[in-house]
Structure 1
Amino acid sequence: MQQSHMMTDQGEQGKSWMLYHILDRYIGSRQVVAIRRKTTLLFDQIAQRTKHPVKIFSTGSSAEGMEMKGSDMDYMMIDSYVKVLSGDEDVRCVEDSPEKTVFVMRDTNSRPGYVILQLVNLGEEGCTHMADSIVSVGDQQFISSEIYTHLYAESGNMETHGPAVSLMKEHDDNEAKGDFDFSHSFPCTSWPRQANEWRNRPRLYGWPNETLRYQIVKGGCHLVPVGDKTSSGAFLQWRISFTTAERKLIHSLTHVQFLVYGLLKYLLKQIADALKQLLGDTEVVSSYILKTTVFYAVENTPESFWKEENIFHGFMFCIKILIYWVHAGYCPNYFISNNNMIFGKVHGENQKRLLSFLVELYGITWDCLSIGEYIHPSLGQLVSRVRNGEWQIAQPTPTQLERDHDLKTFLKIFPLANNSFVLPITLKRLTESSTDLDEFIGYFTTTKALCAGGITIFEKHHATAKGNKQKYKALRISKRFMAPFSSVCTSPGLLLLATFHYQTGNYMKAIELCEQMISSFKMFVGDGSFVSKDIEKYKLI
Structure 2
Amino acid sequence: MLSVQKISESVYVGMCLKIGTPQQVASRRDTVDITEMLRNNEMLKTRETVMLSGSQREGLRLSESDRDYMRWPNDHRVIWDFSQCQFYNTQEHALILCDSSESPPGFILLWVPLENANGTVMLACVRMNGMLYISSSKYREVTRPLIKPDSTIHGPCSSGLHGILEYDNAHCFVSDFWPPFAISWVNRCSDWPPPHVVSDIVRNGCHFVAIGHKLGNHTDNEWRISFSRAEYKLAYSMNHTQFLTYGVLKLFLKEIINNGLRDEDKLLCSYHIKTAVFWAIQQNALPHWHPKNLLEGFWVCFKLVLKWVYEGVCPNFFIPENNMFLSNIYGEAQKNLFKRLYKLYEKGIALLFHSPSIRSYIINVLCNPRLTICTNEHTLISEVEFDKGIFCQIREYDSPATLDPRKVNTCLHAVEQLIGLPLTQYHIVMLQKLSATILQHTSFILHNMHTNTNFNKQLYIVDKISCHWLRFATKIGFVSDKLYFAMYYYKTFRYWEALSVIDITKVKLAQPYLMYQIRVDRERYTEAVGGQSLSTKMRQAVAQNIVLNNNIFYIDALIPEQQSCKQNSWFYLHIPPLVLLYMIELLCSRHVDTMRAQRALDDLQVLVHHDQVGSILRDISWEILGICQQITGNLQAALYSYHQSLRQFPYNKIRTATLQRIQDLHL
Q: TM-score range by the shorter chain?
A: 0.7 to 0.9
1:196 corresponding residue in structure 2: 183
Identify which range, 193-202 or 523-532, moves more after superposition.
523-532
Matching of residue 281 in structure 1 with residue 265 in structure 2: yes
Matches for 1:207-246 after TM superposition, within 5 Å = 207-246=192-231
Q: Is the counterpart of residue 299 in structure 1 residue 282 in structure 2?
A: yes
Residues 17-46 of structure 1, C-alpha deviation per residue, up to 9 Å, x if partnerless? 111111111111112111211121123223
| 1:354-389 deviation line (CA, Å, top 9, x unaligned) | 1122222233234333325xxxx5221244257657
Q: Which of residues 497, 506, 511 is equivalent to 1:514? A: 506
Q: Do 1:494 and 1:517's aligned partners in 2 also have CA atoms closer than 8 Å?
A: no
- Does the Cα contact within 8 Å between 1:113 and 1:239 map onto a contact in 2? yes
Structure 1 partner of 2:415:
426
Structure 2 residue identity aligned to 1:123:
N
- Deviation track 1:110-169 (CA, whole Å, cap 9, x = no partner) reads 421111122234327x5x331122222232232221222122226634221221111223
Matched, 1:185 2:178: no
Q: Look up the match of 2:256.
A: 271
CA contact (8 A) 1:185 1:224 kept: yes
Q: Is the 8 A contact 2:108 2:222 kept in 1?
A: yes
CA contact (8 A) 1:100 1:121 kept: no
Letter in 1 for 2:352: L
1:384 paired with 2:363, answer yes
3-state secondary structure, aligned to 2:261: helix
- Residue 48 of structure 2 is matched in structure 1 by 54
Match of 1:408 in 2: 389
Alignment of 1:336-415 (within 5 A): 336-371=319-354, 377-385=356-364, 401-414=382-395, 415=397
Aligned to 2:569: none
Within-5 A mapping of 1:15-34: 15-34=7-26
Q: Which residue of 2 aligns with 1:5?
A: none
Name the amino acid aligned to 1:223: F
Distance apart, 1:268 and its partner CA: 1.6
Question: How far is the alpha carbon of 1:275 from its aligned partner?
Answer: 7.0
Write the deviation string for residues 321-364 of structure 1: whole angstroms up to 9, x where unpaired.
10111111111000001111101322222222211222222332
Aligned counterparts of 2:226 and 2:420: Cα–Cα separation in 1: 35
C-alpha distance 223-122 of structure 1, shift in aligned 2 (>3 A): farther
Q: 1:496 to 1:18 in 2, by over 3 A?
A: same
Distance 1:511 1:210, change over 3 A: closer
Structure 2 unpaired stretches of 5+? 515-540, 548-573, 577-610, 615-667
Tell me if structure 2 keeps the 8 A contact 1:10–1:387: no
Q: What SS class does the counterpart of residue 312 from structure 1 fall into?
A: helix
- Residue 43 (1) aligns with residue 35 (2): yes
The letter of the residue matching 1:344 is: S
Q: Tell me the equivalent position of 1:539.
A: none
- Structure 1 segment 443-458 matched on structure 2, within 5 A: 443-456=432-445
Structure-1 residue corresponding to 2:160 = 167
Give TM-score scaled by structure 1 length: 0.83
Correspondences of 1:108-119 after superposition (within 5 Å): 108-119=101-112
Distance 2:297 2:45 in 1: 45
- Range with bigger deviation, 318-327 or 484-493: 484-493
1:422-448 Cα distance to aligned partner (Å, 9 max, x none): 323333333435433333333333344
Q: Does 60-69 or 400-409 show the bigger shift? A: 400-409
Instruction: Check conservation: 1:20, 1:311, Cα contact below 8 A.
Output: yes
**Farther-moved stretch of structure 1 (446-455 vs 525-534):** 525-534
- Which structure's CA Rg is the greater one? 2
Report how far residue 285 of structure 1 moved: 0.8
Q: Does the 8 Å contact 2:398/2:433 carry over to 1?
A: no
Q: Is the 8 A contact 1:84 1:188 kept in 2?
A: yes
**Cα RMSD over matched residues?**
3.6
Secondary structure in structure 1 of the residue aligned to 2:56: helix
Aligned counterparts of 1:293 and 1:208: Cα–Cα separation in 2: 15
How far did residue 297 of structure 1 move?
Answer: 0.8
Where 1:276 maps in the other structure, the secondary structure is coil
For residue 493 of structure 1, the aligned residue among 481, 484, 495 is 481
Deviation at 1:318, TM superposition (A): 0.6
Identify if the C-alpha distance between structure 1 residues 185 and 325 changes in structure 2 by more than 3 Å, giving closer, same or farther. Answer: same
User: Would you say the 8 A contact 1:107–1:115 is kept in 2?
Assistant: yes
Answer yes or no: is the 8 Å Cα contact 1:19–1:383 preserved in 2: yes
- Counterpart of 2:98? 105
1:399/1:252 Cα in 2 relative to 1: closer, same or farther (>3 Å)? closer
**Displacement after TM superposition at 1:13 (Å):** 1.1
List per-residue Cα deviations over 1:77-127 (Å, max 9, x = no partner): 11222222213x337659940564332222244421111122234327x5x
2:429 to 440, 443, 448: 440
Q: 1:485 to 1:154 in 2, by over 3 A?
A: closer
Alpha-carbon distance between aligned partners in 2 of 1:169 and 1:224, rounded to the nearest angstrom: 22
Answer whether contact 2:176 2:206 (CA < 8 A) is retained. Answer: yes
Q: CA deviation at 1:408?
A: 1.4
- 8 Å Cα contact 2:9/2:375 also seen in 1: no
Deviation, 1:231, is: 2.1
Greater Cα shift, 438-447 or 91-100: 91-100
Amino acid at match of 2:234: L
CA distance in 2, matches of 1:438, 1:39: 6
Contact 2:158–2:170 at 8 Å: present in 1 too?
yes
**1:335 aligned partner:** 318
- CA positional deviation for 1:53: 2.4
Task: Give the Cα separation in 1 of the matches to 2:199 and 2:229.
Answer: 13
Deviation at 1:392, TM superposition (A): 11
The amino acid that maps onto 2:393 is K
CA 1:442/1:157 → structure 2, altered by over 3 Å: closer, same or farther? closer
Q: Is the alpha carbon distance of 1:388 and 1:341 closer, same or farther for their aligned partners in structure 2, counting shifts above 3 Å?
A: same
Alignment of 1:140-155 (within 5 A): 140-153=131-144
Task: Give me the whole-angstrom Cα distance separating, in 2, the residues matched to 1:303 and 1:496.
Answer: 54
Cα 1:54/1:91, change in 2 over 3 Å: same
Q: Does the residue aligned with 1:115 lie in a helix, a strand or coil?
A: strand
CA contact (8 A) 1:448 1:485 kept: yes
SS state of the match for residue 98, structure 2? Answer: strand
Match of 1:525 in 2: 544
Distance 2:97 2:501 in 1: 65
Query: Alignment partner of 2:144: what SS?
Result: helix
